[in-house]
Amino acid sequence: MKFIDIVKTAIANSFRSKLRTGLTVIAIFIGAFTLTITSGIGTGVTSYIDTQVSAIGAADVLTVSKAADSTSSTTDGPAAYDPSKATTVSLGNGSRPGTTIQALTAKDLTKIAKTTGILNVDPSVRVTPDYIEYDGKGKFEIIVNATATLTTADLAAGAQLDNSSTTDQILLPTTYLKNLGFASAKAAIGQTVSIGITDYAGVQQEVKATVIGVQNETILGVGAGLNQPLTDRLHTIEVTGAPAGATDSYATATANFDIKSTPAEITAIKDDLAKQGFASQTVADTIGSFQTVINVIIGVLNAFAVIALIAAGFGIINTLLMSVQERTREIGLMKAMGMNGGRVYTLFSTEAVFIGFLGSALGALAAVGVGSLVSNILADGVFSALPGLQVVQFAPSSIAIIIGVVMLIAFLAGTLPARAAARQNPIDALRYE
């Protein structure tokens, strides 16, 4: 019997007991469906996070701050006051009190810049404008994305911020358009908006800025982006009238390293900074918690799917053992006519693999259909404020792997019945009643 004949016979034999085979296929279907859905969720969410990573910072940037003081704890109380430590106050007026934190000084910036592997370092300047207005259509509160100068925005229209430009540029979130009076993202490009900001003495001033682009909303970064010239202009106004030395300390700084640096080299840079009393983290460190939570959830769901598949494996064993028992005389006849044990083993193993393929293929196809439908409904409903987020995305390679794994489980489950069939003595089998 040729291999193609064995395959045809195996497929035909699988449907001899339609109810028993059908129940086994359903069990495999459930496991494959769950695995495919969870794989799609993992792919969709991970893909979205990867495209939004730029909302936190660039891949070759470390965010550096003063390390937390290890001399104090919640049980020992606060550490003794050290006048040599700098503090910084988020500048404000009577209505906007500042927050005191340990700060980076000019001397700290110099130390960071001299660290091996660091190419350059810049202090992070934060500004807190009062409002934004377009064409006299009303003033609205504005939140500034402090990391916008380091990012590559997910644009709905327009261009990226240009820090080398002499023009004061602003990148608006899509959620700002309606309130400001813009008909669409494209209509906002090139328009001039007014930004109000109050100096330290309490005097409010207004600065004009050009809308260079419109950014889609992101779960990892919020607010309008300002290019460096506009940030510097607003900061200069904000610190006007501040006490001497108040502007020489910073909450954080951004340090650039070679984008080709290996993970080991990046770790060495962070360790060197830690020895000098600085805390630092990359984009990967920042989003690590997001990905960890997602991976844990997907792992738990996959565990349930694997349990279902193991249960289905026992179903395959039961189905084929019953089939071997029912077809004992048939097996004896095949062996008496010259079919060797290897061919018999292959026949029953092929039946197991076919049942696994049938259940997994149907489960994967159903998962793709249901997952795509649900993803589109969620994208237009619950997640409509997050353009580009498809909760469920399917990668052909992942689906192929799932089907392959299920077929492997089916093959292993079919090994016991197949061996039992292959070891049948033809004379005893022919006498079986």
Per-residue pLDDT tens for 255-269? 888 888 888 999 999
Per-residue pLDDT tens for 179-190? 999 999 999 999
Residue 89: the pLDDT is 44
- Cα of first residue to Cα of last residue in the chain, in angstroms, is 26
Q: Do β-strands 204-215 and 87-89 pair in parallel, antiparallel, or remain unpaired? A: unpaired
Q: What is the DSSP letter of 224?
A: B
Residue 196: the pLDDT is 95
- 3-class secondary structure, 134: coil
User: 81 pLDDT band (50/70/90 cuts)?
Assistant: low
Residue 72: the pLDDT is 46
Residue 99: the pLDDT is 46
Residue 70 or 164, more confident: 164
Residue 178: the pLDDT is 92
**What pTM, to 2 d.p., does this model score?**
0.60
Exposed, middle or buried, 26 (CB in 10 Å: 0-12/13-18/19+)? middle
Is 424 in contact with 331 (CB distance < 8 Å)? yes
